[in-house]
Amino acid sequence: MGCILKNNILSKHGINFIAFLFVAFMFISPSFISQANSYNFKDLNSSYFTNIENTAPFQTSLNDLNNITEFEEFVDSIITQQLLDYNIVGATFTAVNNGSFYLSKGYGYRKKYPHIGVDPNSTLFRIGSVSKTFTAIAVLQLVEDGLLNLDEDINEYLTAFQIPDTYIEPITLRHILTHTAGFEEWRVSIVVPTFSDVPDVETLLKDYIPARVHPPGEISAYSNYGLGLAAYIVEEISGKAFEDYIYDEIASPLGMDYTSFEQPLPVALEANMSDAYDGDGNIQFFENVILPGAGAGSSSSGDMARLMLALLNNGTYDGSRILNNETVALMFESHFQPPHPSFIPGVGLGLYEMDVINESIIGHEGDTIYFHSGMVLFPEYDFGYFVSYNSQTGGYARSELLLEFIDYFLPKEKEDFTNHITENLRDFDGIYLLSRRLYYKYYTASPHIWFGYRFTMKTNSTHLMIEGISAPFTQISEDFFWAKIPEYPYDFFVVFIRNLKGDVTNFYANFFRSLTSYEKINSIYANNPMQLVFAIIIGIVYIIILAFWGIDRMFKTKRKDEKRLSIKRIFKWGTFGASIFGVIPMLYFAIKSQNIIFLAADTKEYLGWLIALPYIGTVLFGGLVLLSALSWYEFRSKPSESKQEEKTTIKNIEIEKTFENRSKKEKPLMTNIQFTVIALFGIFVIVLFSVWRMYGF
């Protein structure tokens, strides 16, 4: 499923995620991922290509894999070392080539105590989100039967509930299978140790519908809910339980006798299931997945070889057909493609591109908490492999294996772009956060930190720099950047997406799967603690000054000349108005930003009618600046005027003497300084309004 979730019983009134991105980003990234709030690719390079640098090139490429011994030695050298490096208890590997089984190996143990080794043909591993490929095949089979349509509104297939019509465009199965339905992250824990008190799938899908946060087809955001919904539709249309449908229509025809979506496993298979282990090698629970179509599959690598052979052979294996030729081609085709398809991978139907080196590489990876798997297909070479690890640190190993494999068998000359430009580089500055996250109602404290793994982009006059990546990115075209990094066997490419107003809103990169994007968030997060401190200081200063003036005013209520308009009186009333319409909205926005993520281009959506307040406040702040300048002009041109204005004719002689004595002590200079400080703070508030996009642009 590509996620780590809290292993507690579901609660209708709120369910938490924990340590979500430990596996979530291992799922969508082909590189090691550090457990920090930002990536540091340089830290990952130390052991990444050790074997590659010290090993002679393979004697054959994927075009000619005749030397099975050499291939086996290559795989053995990597996986056996990975078991040591990452404290992995067991792994399974299989490869297919030219329509046949090529290599199947088991490594380590499926049970640590007593020692029971991994049998690649019969030992079951949890395959996580590789299950989504099965779900996609099931959907496409029903499309072939004329029972489903990839471009029909999914509400046409739902009877017990409906997906809200948040946008004019309906969600279709094509959107679901490419993760472009526009859902926010599901707020329900998808992995649980027991099904006790867990509602049935229909109730889960009906009562916990995630918010639709993007129009369908525009932005990708990996969605377990979406694939769970697709599996539910398969059940509704076929009339079979999803687990039974997978067995009857896919596993059984292909002879996948060690594959099941049942939870718990059938008794006949339970004894062959590998145990799960944490990073310290301690045995853990069997991970139940509450949405079967999102990741409930268990399979042996030998069975997964049968599935790969069928996909590479136009839907047929050993005389059994699960899909038509045209449907398999449709499945492999990119149905969601960010710009620059030659360099940025796209997303197929239940599969996605992994071609970081401009090769046709497709497949699917999958993660539970403790199992980490990958199915990788090379259609042009009629080759594929499947690997799975039964320990929590296996995600690192799976990603490493893919890159070492690519560099070893498909080495490529790096690109060398000679035409460079430097246009509107400042447009790309900012912080970008994963689109697979919670958005509106179900955020937690400091979600921009809680959800982790953000990218900070900074530009100078010639290049773009990405925090955590040492090499500068060169602009090749308007929104397209390239970097050559010596430690990696491929070039890095980044493409930015703009909205209709021309604002940069997202980016995609070849070093991440296009199953999800990164969204540009409001500048308030760029240096949030310091900005928040300044905002609070300004608020405190305004409150203290207004309180002082208010108290002072209470003692002057009987003075007749106080009713006469003056620069001083107008300034005070202006300060009061600016506080209401300027300072308070600023504080509201700054404090609220600690609990919700504002996107760079959507401030207007979050502020609603409050968007009018910054405009009114700006006018008032501008007036304060003008009045402050006039007060200094008055102070210089009529130094004694302020004292003259303090004289009054109050009937009560004692009160008159009191105010006359106070007027002698008042210092116009200090009053002007107060006005200046307030005006300067007002200018700072206007700057914050602009930086935080509180004007809506």
pLDDT at residue number 93: 98
153-157, 327-331, 589-593: which range is least confident on average?
Answer: 589-593
For the whole model, what pTM was predicted? Answer: 0.81
647 or 40, which is more confident? 647
pLDDT at residue number 532: 73
CATH topology of 21-409 equal to that of 425-524? no
CB 75 within 8 A of CB 88: no
**125 residue type, one letter:** F
56-60, 100-104, 528-532: which range is least confident on average?
Answer: 56-60
Listed residue (444, 474, 448, 476) closest to 461, CA to CA: 474
Strands (E), 423-562: 430-434, 455-459, 464-466, 474-477, 480-483, 492-498, 504-509, 518-521
**313 residue type, one letter:** N
How does pLDDT run across 200-239, given as a tens digit for each residue? 999 999 999 999 989 999 999 999 999 999 999 999 999 9
pLDDT band at 637 (very low <50, low <70, confident <90, very high): low
Distance, C-alpha 643 to centroid of its chain: 64
Look up the CATH architecture of domain 21-409. 3-Layer(aba) Sandwich (3.40)
609: left (phi over 0), alpha (psi -120 to 50) or beta: alpha
Judged on CB neighbours under 10 Å (0-12, 13-18, 19+), 663 is middle
pLDDT at residue number 325: 96
pLDDT at residue number 646: 46
pLDDT at residue number 604: 62
CB 433 within 8 A of CB 452: no
Residue 296 has pLDDT above 90, yes or no: yes
How does pLDDT run across 60-103, given as a tens digit for each residue? 577 778 788 889 999 999 999 999 999 999 999 999 999 999 99
pLDDT mean over 553-573: 62
Cα-only R_g, the chain: 32
Class of domain 425-524 (CATH, top level)? mainly beta
pLDDT mean over 1-11: 35
Q: Please give the mean pLDDT across all residues of the chain.
A: 81
Q: Which residue has the tokens 């809290």?
A: 6
pLDDT band at 697 (very low <50, low <70, confident <90, very high): low
Residue 57 has pLDDT above 90, yes or no: no
- The full set of domain ranges for the chain reads 21-409, 425-524, 526-691
Q: Which residue has the tokens 């009160």?
A: 655
C-alpha distances in angstroms, 347 versus 222, 402, 663?
A: 11, 18, 77
Indicate the Cα dihedral angle 198, 434, 496, 40, nearest 10°.
-140
How does pLDDT run across 317-376, given as a tens digit for each residue? 999 999 999 999 999 999 999 999 989 999 999 999 987 777 789 999 999 999 999 999
39-43, 454-458, 524-528, 546-550: which range is least confident on average?
Answer: 39-43
pLDDT band at 484 (very low <50, low <70, confident <90, very high): confident
Q: Which residue has the tokens 């004329």?
A: 146
pLDDT band at 608 (very low <50, low <70, confident <90, very high): low
